[in-house]
């Protein structure tokens, strides 16, 4: 059974989803509510919500939650690389491509980043364009900007 529960934080509204005792999705307010999930706050979802709240307050820099990510081998490699970007820092798509051992795959990295099912916990917001510009984000560029500003503020 898949579960989802919604939270309103100071900078964003999200749904946190669980499947098989692992966090499997984070839904932004702008996304459609999933139909095949039961709206229930499970103990794991509640823990994830508390930890995301700590992150937003600058009291948490890493997540240690069980996650379940379905994707291609390449996507899983990219999502693992995203977790290696230190709190408060950014990397370009080209740098992530290098980290995955596929230096010419910047565009594919962008597509994998776009399909990240667990944003914030898997920090795809830390990936920016080579020129330093903010690029697409499922929650919108304003949320991406807020997350990066939050990390910069608390990374002292």
- Residue 36 domain-assigned? yes
**DSSP string computed for 37-69:** SEE---HHHHHHHHHHHHHHTTS-S-----B--
Longest dimension (CA), the chain: 43
Q: pLDDT grade, residue 138 (50/70/90)?
A: confident
Distance from C-alpha of 53 to C-alpha of 93, rounded to nearest angstrom = 28
41: domain range?
2-56
- Residue 141 domain-assigned? yes
Q: What is the pLDDT of residue 8?
A: 95
Q: Does 129 share its domain with 89? A: yes
Q: Does 89 share its domain with 131? A: yes
Q: Does 12 share its domain with 80? A: no
Residue 155 in tokens: 């990374």
Q: pLDDT grade, residue 154 (50/70/90)?
A: confident
- Residue 51 domain-assigned? yes
Residue 9 reports pLDDT greater than 80 = yes
Residue 44: burial class (beta carbons within 10 Å; 0-12, 13-18, 19+): middle
Q: Does 51 share its domain with 78? A: no
- Residue 64 domain-assigned? no
Q: Does 94 share its domain with 147? A: yes
Q: Does 40 share its domain with 90? A: no
Sign of CA dihedral 9, 52, 84, 73: negative
- Residue 62 domain-assigned? no
Catalytic residues: 124
Residue 132 reports pLDDT greater than 90 = no
Residue 84 reports pLDDT greater than 90 = yes
Write the pLDDT tens digit of every residue in 28-77: 987 777 889 999 999 999 999 999 999 999 999 999 999 999 999 999 99
pTM score, two decimals? 0.92
pLDDT > 90: percent of the chain: 80
Residue 16 reports pLDDT greater than 90 = yes
Question: How many structural domains does the chain have?
Answer: 2
């Amino acid at each position: 059974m898949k579960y989802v529960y919604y939270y309103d934080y100071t900078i964003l509204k999200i749904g946190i989803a669980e499947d098989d005792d692992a966090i499997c999705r984070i839904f932004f307010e702008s996304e459609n509510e999933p139909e095949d999930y039961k709206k229930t706050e499970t103990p794991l979802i509640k823990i994830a919500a508390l930890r995301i709240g700590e992150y937003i307050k600058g009291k948490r820099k890493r997540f240690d939650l069980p996650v379940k990510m379905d994707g291609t081998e390449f996507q899983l490699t990219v999502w693992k690389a995203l977790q290696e970007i230190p709190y408060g820092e950014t990397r370009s798509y080209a740098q992530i491509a290098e980290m995955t051992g596929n230096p010419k795959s910047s565009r594919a990295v962008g597509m994998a980043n776009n399909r990240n099912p667990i944003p914030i916990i898997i920090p795809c917001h830390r990936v920016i364009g080579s020129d330093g510009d903010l690029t697409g984000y499922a929650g919108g560029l304003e949320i991406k900007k807020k997350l990066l500003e939050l990390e910069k503020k608390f990374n002292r």
